[in-house]
């Protein structure tokens, strides 16, 4: 388990999987001998929050609930938003460019190329819709809920809304974005004829695996940490107001 005293360079050197996490915290390479805590503090990052996210990322069995409960919901919302930006600005365009390059230099029939292209484009559309729904509706709601719960007299309209809406509704329809990527990998490994550019083909498959892992981790933060904490805050605020 990583701790605050470790030199940051060693954390990253020994755990390459953490590389995509760095831009989400606005941390840049060139750490020198600085410890995790020093690097985080220099960049205005909450060290405990960084450690919780990094340790949960490295160990699938790590239970983040307790540690993450120490942070404000808006810290979590900021992290979720910057993870979304990483997906839309870096991870997805990179794998997309490679997939299309792989198709362009392959011996695939037009029908096969269209199959992959259509599949990827449909996926991208669903992906963007998923993220927009969270950014336009869910995350602003979470920030507002946290703000209202700090008010002595919360907005009556907000309390009224709480009586008919709960984050649990979002939970029911919160779908998993990694499943379709698995199907895409299956398509390449199982059904399509082999590609001549092996190196690029393997890069695509590796990128898909990395993105799937990242998406699982992201959904876990939303499902196992954010939603239960929001539900708890909803309950507390509602109880406080109805018994007041
Ligand atoms: Fe998300
Ligand atoms: Fe999500």
Residue 190's pLDDT is what? Answer: 94
Q: How far is the CA of 233 from the centre of ligand 2 (A)?
A: 20
Ligand approaching nearest to the C-alpha of 135? 1
pLDDT for 60: 77
- Which tokens hold the place of 8? 């940051």
Expressed in angstroms and rounded, the spacing between residue 41 Cα and the centre of ligand 1 is 26
- Centroid of ligand 1 to alpha carbon of 5 (angstroms): 30
Digitized pLDDT (tens) for each residue of the chain, 244 residues in all: 899 999 999 999 999 989 989 989 999 999 999 999 999 999 999 998 899 889 888 887 776 556 566 788 998 999 999 999 999 999 999 999 999 999 998 989 999 999 999 999 999 999 999 999 999 999 999 999 999 999 999 999 999 999 999 999 999 999 999 999 999 999 999 999 999 999 999 999 999 999 999 999 899 889 888 898 899 999 999 998 877 6
Rounded CA-CA distance 44/155 in Å is 32
d(CA 78, ligand 1 centre) in Å = 11
The predicted pLDDT at position 7 comes to 97
Q: Using the mean position of ligand 2's atoms as its centre, give its distance from the Cα of residue 194 in Å.
A: 34
Å from CA of 224 to ligand 1 middle: 12
Task: Map out the domains of the chain as residue ranges.
Answer: 8-65, 72-243
Ligand 2 centre and the CA of 198: distance in Å?
Answer: 33
Sign of the four-CA dihedral 223, 228, 229, 231:
positive
Separation of CA 243 and ligand 2 centre (Å): 34
Cα-to-centroid distance, 134 and ligand 2 (Å):
7
Ligand 1 geometric centre to CA of 163 (Å): 25
The ligand with the least distance to the CA atom of 84 is 1
| Backbone φ, ψ for residue 46 (5° rounding) | -70, 110
**What per-residue confidence (pLDDT) applies to 64?**
59
Q: Measured in angstroms, how far is the CA atom of residue 93 from the centroid of ligand 1? A: 17
Q: Cα angle at 141 between 138 and 146, to 5 degrees?
A: 130
Distance 40 CA to ligand 1 centre (A): 23
**109: three-class secondary structure by DSSP:** coil
Q: According to the model, what pLDDT value does residue 164 have?
A: 92
- Which residues hold their Cβ within 5 A of ligand 1, which is an ion? 134
- CA 137 to ligand 2 centroid distance, Å: 12
Q: Please answer whether residues 200 and 98 qualify as being in contact, where contact means their C-beta atoms are separated by less than 8 angstroms.
A: yes
């Amino acid at each position: 388990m990583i701790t605050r005293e470790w030199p940051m360079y060693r954390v990253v050197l020994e755990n390459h999987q953490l590389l995509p996490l760095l831009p989400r915290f606005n941390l840049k390479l060139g750490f020198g001998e600085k410890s995790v805590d020093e690097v985080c503090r220099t960049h205005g990052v909450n060290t405990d929050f960084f450690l919780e996210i990094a340790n949960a990322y490295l160990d699938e069995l790590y239970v983040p609930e307790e540690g993450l409960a120490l942070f404000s919901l808006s810290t979590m919302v900021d992290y979720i938003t910057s993870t979304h930006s990483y997906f839309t600005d870096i991870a997805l365009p990179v794998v997309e460019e490679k997939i299309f390059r792989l198709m362009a230099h392959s011996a695939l029939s037009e029908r096969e190329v269209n199959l992959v292209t259509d599949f990827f484009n449909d996926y991208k559309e669903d992906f963007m819709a998923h993220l927009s729904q969270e950014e336009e509706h869910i995350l602003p709601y979470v920030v507002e809920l946290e703000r209202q719960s700090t008010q002595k007299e919360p907005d009556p309209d907000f309390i009224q809304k709480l009586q008919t809406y709960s984050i649990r509704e979002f939970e029911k329809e919160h779908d998993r974005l990694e499943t379709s990527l698995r199907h895409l990998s299956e398509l390449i490994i199982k059904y399509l004829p082999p590609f001549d550019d092996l190196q690029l083909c393997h890069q695509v498959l590796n990128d898909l695996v990395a993105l799937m892992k990242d998406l699982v981790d992201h959904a876990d933060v939303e499902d196992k940490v954010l939603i239960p904490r929001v539900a708890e805050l909803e309950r507390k605020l509602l109880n406080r107001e109805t018994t007041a």
